[in-house]
Amino acid sequence: MINVTRTYLPDAGKYKSYVDRIFESGWITNNGQLVQELEKRIKEYLGVRNIVLVSNGTLALQVAYKILNLKGDVITTPFSFVATVSSQVWEGLNPVFVDIDCETLNIDCTKIEKSITKNTSGIIPVHVFGNGCNVEEIERIARKYGLKAVYDAAHAFGIRYKGESILNHGDISVLSFHATKVFHTIEGGALIINDDKLYEKARHMVDFGINGPDRIDWLGINAKMNEFQAAMGLCILDDIDEIVEKRRMVNDYYLEKLSKTGCLKFPKHNENCTFNYGYLPVIFENEEKLLEVKCKLEESSIRPRRYFYPSLETLPYIANRCRVPVSNSISKRILCLPMYDSLKTEEIERIVEIIKTVFNK
Ligand SMILES: *Cc1c(COP(=O)(O)O)cnc(C)c1O
């Protein structure tokens, strides 16, 4: 079976030596030494000022909205993983969807201003599939209207924009370290916060709002990362450059083979950004062809996934029906093919051959 992704597992011996350290210390959670070590190393690796590690990316989003005091309407994209929007609704926010650009699949910045009202408190864009948003334009709009910007950067680990970490843009960027992401800690996530005061507050907020012995200064939640998660992260961080390089080779081989067929389109990359090759999305002319290809692949035990379908404005718990025809159309016609560092050349060839049979009959 070839799945859409395969979780990267580090050397078992290395992981066990970290586990030995955890057992020796007897300290398994609550800002332990491995979490502190991982924070320091990720911060350096990414080139960011402040990072708070948390137990998953969804909680990181929720903490970000809370700490920035987002209220009422927030402008966001309908083309993402459901957590972008479910976390907003969970926090009592009202997502206002702005359509996506048909080439980059990121929020269409030319349409944001029209959707801003006196009830808007923030913009929550996504660097979808690790493709960087037009952060300068979003910054300009946020400043002009006094809005906060939270980037769902769950796919954007290691992405650099004009030579600097893209995570330094906006008030807060949120990462996910779920097992399916390019870099993972089994489950996990992080908040990247530029403002030092806000960062201090976030550190306490993910720990029940406790601010020292016998002091509870803020409303908080439990979003702490534990030592076993951090151990996984420390192991994988050693290998991350190699993982991304292998993914690049898988990506390039796919594109070479697939572009020859001439029947599929690919999202357009932001040329100011580096790329981490987290996903291999292909766009079909219509949904029928997509379903046919998906079915044919599944018959051969190959499992692509419909990332991201359905378009999020159609969710049953969304009250206001925004019109976002581009997202609605793309989400029906986009499929993510298997993509991971250890995917073999022969496997890619097999996948492409099956796709070709659907188009050449
Ligand atoms: C994975 C993902 C999340 C959620 O992260 P978890 O760590 O699984 O909670 C949020 N947003 C996007 C775009 C994601 O892909």
pLDDT at 179 > cutoff 80: yes
Give the distance (Å) from ligand 1 centre to CA of residue 299.
Answer: 29
* Secondary structure (3-state) at 285: coil
Which atom of ligand 1 is nearest to 126's Cα?
13
Q: How confident is the model at residue 242 (pLDDT cuts 50, 70, 90)?
A: very high
Give the distance (Å) from ligand 1 centre to CA of residue 20.
Answer: 30
Which atom of ligand 1 is nearest to 181's Cα?
1
**Probe target for ligand 1 pocket from 81, 127, 327, with the most ligand atoms within 8 Å of CB:** 81
Give the distance (Å) from ligand 1 centre to CA of residue 155.
Answer: 8
Q: Whose CA is nearest to atom 7 of ligand 1?
A: 57
Q: Whose CA is nearest to atom 10 of ligand 1?
A: 83
Give the distance (Å) from ligand 1 centre to CA of residue 81.
Answer: 7
**Gap between the Cα atoms of 185 and 37, Å rounded:** 14
Q: Per-residue pLDDT averaged across 179-193, rounded?
A: 98
Which atom of ligand 1 is nearest to 187's Cα?
7
- Nearest partner of 202 among 228, 174, 183, 244, judged by Cα: 174
Handedness of CA 86, 295, 326, 124 (dihedral sign): positive
Q: Per-residue pLDDT averaged across 171-176, rounded?
A: 98
Q: Per-residue pLDDT averaged across 123-133, rounded?
A: 98
Give the distance (Å) from ligand 1 centre to CA of residue 211.
Answer: 28
pLDDT at 321 > cutoff 80: no
Give the distance (Å) from ligand 1 centre to CA of residue 176.
Answer: 5
**Gap between the Cα atoms of 148 and 96, Å rounded:** 15
pLDDT at residue 126, rounded to an integer: 98
Q: Per-residue pLDDT averaged across 269-277, rounded?
A: 97
Q: Tell me, rounded to whole angstroms, the distance of Cα 44 from its chain centroid.
A: 20
pLDDT at residue 360, rounded to an integer: 85
* Secondary structure (3-state) at 212: coil
pLDDT at residue 315, rounded to an integer: 96
pLDDT at 46 > cutoff 80: yes
Torsion (CA) 118, 63, 233, 344 in degrees, nearest 10: -40
pLDDT at residue 262, rounded to an integer: 84
Which atom of ligand 1 is nearest to 155's Cα?
15
Which range is least confidently modeled, 146-150, 179-183, 316-320? 316-320
Q: Whose CA is nearest to atom 13 of ligand 1?
A: 81
Q: Whose CA is nearest to atom 2 of ligand 1?
A: 154
Please count the other Cβ atoms lying within 10 Å of the Cβ belonging to residue 356.
16
Give the distance (Å) from ligand 1 centre to CA of residue 265.
Answer: 25
- Identify any residues that bridge with 280 across adjacent strands, giving them in sequence order: 337
% of the chain with per-residue pLDDT over 90:
96
Residues 187-202 have pLDDT tens digits of: 999 999 999 999 999 9
What angle in degrees, to the nearest 10, is found between the helix axes of 33-46 and 12-25?
Answer: 130
pLDDT at residue 158, rounded to an integer: 98
Residues 102-118 have pLDDT tens digits of: 999 999 999 999 999 99
Give the distance (Å) from ligand 1 centre to CA of residue 159.
Answer: 16
pLDDT at residue 333, rounded to an integer: 98
Which atom of ligand 1 is nearest to 80's Cα?
13
Handedness of CA 110, 164, 168, 187 (dihedral sign): positive
Residues 49-96 have pLDDT tens digits of: 999 999 999 999 999 999 999 999 999 999 999 999 999 999 999 999
Give the distance (Å) from ligand 1 centre to CA of residue 160.
Answer: 20
pLDDT at residue 320, rounded to an integer: 77
**Probe target for ligand 1 pocket from 100, 176, 185, 186, with the most ligand atoms within 8 Å of CB:** 176
pLDDT at residue 67, rounded to an integer: 97
Which atom of ligand 1 is nearest to 61's Cα?
10
- Nearest partner of 167 among 42, 38, 73, judged by Cα: 42
Which atom of ligand 1 is nearest to 84's Cα?
11
Which range is least confidently modeled, 168-177, 260-269, 273-282? 260-269
Half-sphere exposure of 294 (CA within 13 A, CB side): 20
| Ligand 1 binding pocket, CB closer than 6 Å | 56-58, 80-81, 83-84, 126, 152, 154-155, 176, 178, 189
